Amino acid sequence: MGTREEIAQAVSEGAEAGRRGDPPTACPYPRTSLLRGAWVRGYARARPLTTTEGDAE
């Protein structure tokens, strides 16, 4: 488990990766790490899902 500081850092790194347009597979943390979830949350905030015409109906 990570400390609060490590979790905040992982969220920040994920958001930065999302803004750069890195693929989600660029996450540096292993699947079993709490920090992976934090990284993905940051990534998702920076790269929200987009909808196409017809999807919103």
Q: What is the DSSP string of 4-37?
A: HHHHHHHHHHHHHHHHHT--GGG--S-TT-HHHH
pTM, entire model:
0.79
Residue 18 domain flag:
yes
pLDDT at residue 50 tops 70:
no
Average pLDDT, the chain: 88
Number of domains in the chain: 1
Residue 11 domain flag:
yes
Q: What is the domain range of residue 14?
A: 4-46
Residues 9-31: tens digit of each pLDDT? 999 999 999 999 999 999 999 99
